[in-house]
Amino acid sequence: MHGQAESTSLEGFSDRLLDWIANEGAASESIPLLIDSYCRFLNRDGFAIRRCNLATETVHPLMANTRHVWFDRATDPGPINPAVVVERRQYHLGGSMIDEVYFNGGSQKNPQYLASPFHKVEEEGELYETVRPPGEGQPFPLFNDLATLGCSAYSAFRLNSFAGMLQKLGLSTDRPGGYDEPRRAALRASVAMLTLHLNTLVEHDTKRTLARAYVGGDPGRRVCAGMINLGEVVSLDAAIWFSDIRGFTHSSDGAAPERLIERLNGYFETVASAIYGSGGEILKYIGDAVLAIFPVGEDGDRRAACGAALAALDRASAGLAELNRQYAELGEEPFAHGVGLHVGTVSYGNIGSRERLDFTVIGPAVNLASRIEGMCKEVGRNALCSDLFAQSACPGAEPIGAFAMKGIADPVPLNAPRVGG
């Protein structure tokens, strides 16, 4: 399992290491693929890696760090405290396996982590320990599992990250007797080489995460792919959502800034969960307003996009009712908002100046969605949609009438979609 043409000699190891990082390592497009390639390289050189664990901090609004555990064969990766797990999945890579886990901010305080060798490596920088046979006392609880796997020794390192994020690597071997000093030195050199490409992958993941968090999923992918030129836009057919909190400025008078932000974020979280849960994309928070789109598919059928926007409206209405119930128990004012829905072609891309770009949607269809939302309070409705939207997805919507709107020549017929219908 440790690879073909396995070497037990370190002669020429430096040349083989350089060749690996310049070719196989550099070609690895993700952290799981890099770790798999690295461990396979070490095993071809007689290091007999049974298990490898990479832990790295990450920049993400929901996650504090990630962990990738490589096994040289498919196995049960074991339980993790669910209170600290955001997401977990496994990869099977030609006989080997990687267990990938994303942790929240509580993971570093988790007793499971505090009792791990990584906690010691975080403070001391490097660790080498013998794994005793099963049933004997071990320096770390993890070593009981390693002993069951047949491991003989454990090496761990705090890595050098140019991004300033804490990274740790642990390598467990089942090589009889573990490693002598020359082999430990070679392993140390290999870790330094691994770090070079690992840093690039971590930075790449960070870039994509920040782009997704600040400009949205699809805009983030486009920006990371190089769509960053002023005036670079594409035409996009989409259902458009524009919502705004009613009376927020008045209700916020006298409120502590911290509580004001907390309440506002509670509203945004409710609406965002509804939009993303229905396949939409939030492009912008404008003060206390939300601009989102539900792109029309390649088949050009607007019904699915408008149906998704209606599903988001139902979810947002239910979520807002629950949020207001909680505020009522605290004696606080409830939230009310208006939602304007329309469907049409928009210009989607970069506007602004050469020094400061914004990725957004513009065009008459966006302006109309905003104007429709502005009519909600006037007609006493929480949501309104255009005729075009109603014809696409909600023929049972209640006609409200035609209204004059700023910047639009003719009166616009409006409808009240049925919420929860």
Domain residue ranges of the chain, discontinuous segments joined by +:
13-214, 218-416
The domain covering 13-214 belongs, at the CATH homologous superfamily level, to GAF domain (3.30.450.40)
pLDDT at position 1 is 45
CB atoms within 10 A of CB 343: 28
193-215 pLDDT, tens digit each: 999 899 888 887 777 777 777 77
218-416 in CATH: which number? 3.30.70.1230
| Residue at token pair 């988001």 | 312
- On the question of pLDDT at 224 being above 80, the answer is no
| Burial profile 292-324: b = 16 or more Cβ within 10 angstroms, e = fewer | bbbbbeeeeebebbbbbbbbbbbbbbebbeebb
94-150 pLDDT, tens digit each: 999 999 998 887 656 677 778 889 989 988 999 999 999 999 999 999 999 999 999
pLDDT at position 3 is 42
344 bridge partner residues: 238
336-393 pLDDT, tens digit each: 999 999 999 998 888 888 788 788 888 999 999 999 999 999 999 999 999 999 998 8
Structure confidence at residue 2 as a pLDDT band (50, 70, 90): very low
- On the question of pLDDT at 231 being above 80, the answer is no
166-187 pLDDT, tens digit each: 899 999 999 999 999 999 999 9
DSSP-assigned letter for residue 72: S
pLDDT at position 102 is 86
- On the question of pLDDT at 39 being above 70, the answer is yes
